Amino acid sequence: MSELLYIAPGEALRLSRYLIGEDCPEATVQHYTAAVQKLFAILTPDQQKVWDRMLKSHIYMKLIDAGLAVTYPQSPLRKRIFIMLTLLESRPEFTQYFLPQKRSIWYLIPLGFRAGLSAVYLVTGSIFTRISGISRI
């Protein structure tokens, strides 16, 4: 396919901030754009609207990402998130986010809180994506 796929302005940086909380280097932005092209992470016009909204709100991104994980795991929206995740994981400067680390027993407290919050996002997002029809677009 020779036509360019839709990529929102600043999309790669917003995804990087969503996944690891910091901006990725320019080389990763370029690799992301090339990977989206090559892997055909095509978005329909309706998906583009949802995607643009997801990129504007961290909470909306979490909600829709979690919901689609249950209702439509092969969504092109999630495919783009996984493309960025893969690129970040391959960068040496971001290995601390992906490799196991030695932690104290007290780390279980915030970990438990995050696990509970993730469950809330999963249930809420699943219901929201089904009711809103996002899982069918």
Give me the pLDDT at residue 60, please: 94
Contacts of 82 (CB under 8 A, 6+ apart): none
Instruction: Say what the pLDDT of residue 15 is.
Output: 97
Assess contact for 119 and 63: CB atoms under 8 A.
no
**CA pseudo-torsion sign 46, 9, 53, 124:** positive
**CA 93 → CA 4, 27, 30, 133, distances in Å?**
30, 13, 17, 39
Type of residue numbered 61: M
Q: What is the dihedral of CA 23, 10, 12, 70, to 10 degrees?
A: 110
Residues with Cβ within 8 Å of 95's Cβ and at least 6 positions away in sequence, in order, are none
pLDDT at 5: 80
Decide: pTM greater than 0.75.
yes
pLDDT at 104: 92
Gap between the Cα atoms of 94 and 104, Å rounded: 22
Question: pLDDT averaged over consecutive 10-residue blocks of the chain (137 residues)?
Answer: 72 96 95 90 87 94 94 93 96 92 91 93 92 84
pLDDT score at 4: 58
